[in-house]
Homo-oligomer: A and B are copies of this chain.
């Protein structure tokens, strides 16, 4: 039985290849000159020894950081409970793995965006991905982080933005409802402080006003629970409503549940639409009409940008496609 050897270091590889540590480093890090022969010898040695570089050491000397922090703004820590956050973190973790990096998840109290400073001071932070971004957060980004921050939501001159075209998706949805004969269309919105959700509301307003129809808005918060309550309010305030646009699929599902409880037929009496196209949207009864939201794609792009270091395009918009199903 072989003695429990410690994992090989660059030193070991260098020795095995008969070169200096510096040379081995150049070859393996792919930086700087190296004679082809040397290069081969080093690579071979590394391979034979099963050498795996230590990202911590590398990060230390380069000051490049060793983890990507996903920062979610919200009133309280329960914002982290949203499955959406898990999807972002999961995608980010996949991006990080090959770099030898990891992902951490932090809640940032909406009221104290300055908490970002602490993260910026942490030399182990290689990049930041902002979720539920607000103007205040953008303003609080220390310039030291320039080029290592990406936002899923609104951005700024210093922070590239990655987001779904929820305005387009919502517009398509509302137009579809109009095209299928609905005229008294209400909407359950997202939290008012979230600008990106505002784009959906804006699109709804626009389409409605273009069609000369009245605007009917009820505040929501992306959850099914709130969707249920909101549906009740819609029913109470505008009993003749014939369609409800949900800001999210969860919202829509809550709406449908409440409607059903009230004996209202979906889509017979009231059409209901969502936004996100979660996997289960196709499985519910009635199957949900909704618009796509490529969360994993967006998170992957944002994480990649935050890690890249070089400037990304200021705004990247991912298209949202209407998915017609049975609910509306």
The one of B89, B121, B283 in contact with A284, judged by C-beta atoms closer than 8 angstroms, is: B283
Binds B, one of A19-27, A192-200, A202-210, A252-260: A252-260
Q: Does A106 contact B (CB under 8 A)?
A: yes
The one of B86, B102, B250, B256 in contact with A104, judged by C-beta atoms closer than 8 angstroms, is: B102
State in angstroms the CA–CA spacing of A52 and B123 once bound together.
8
Q: With A122-B100, A279-B250 as given contacts, are A65 and B70 in contact (CB-CB < 8 Å)?
A: no
The one of B68, B97, B254 in contact with A283, judged by C-beta atoms closer than 8 angstroms, is: B254
Residue total for A at the interface (Cβ-Cβ under 8 A) = 60
Q: Is the CB of B224 within 8 A of A279?
A: yes
Q: With A68-B102, A93-B103 as given contacts, are A122 and B54 in contact (CB-CB < 8 Å)?
A: yes
Q: Is the CB of B60 within 8 A of A56?
A: yes
| Count of chain copies | 2
Interface centre among A56, A93, A94, A117 (most CB of B within 10 A): A56
List A residues 95-139 near B (Cβ within 8 Å): 96-97, 100-106, 117-118, 120-124
A83: chain B residues within 8 A (beta carbon): 83, 86-87, 279
State in angstroms the CA–CA spacing of A34 and B105 once bound together.
33
Which residues on A are within 8 Å of B, measured CB to CB? 4, 7-8, 50-52, 54-57, 59-60, 65-70, 80, 83, 85-87, 89-90, 93-94, 96-97, 100-106, 117-118, 120-124, 143-144, 224, 250, 253-254, 256-257, 260, 278-280, 282-286
The 4 closest A-B pairs by CB, nearest first: A102-B102, A67-B102, A86-B90, A93-B105
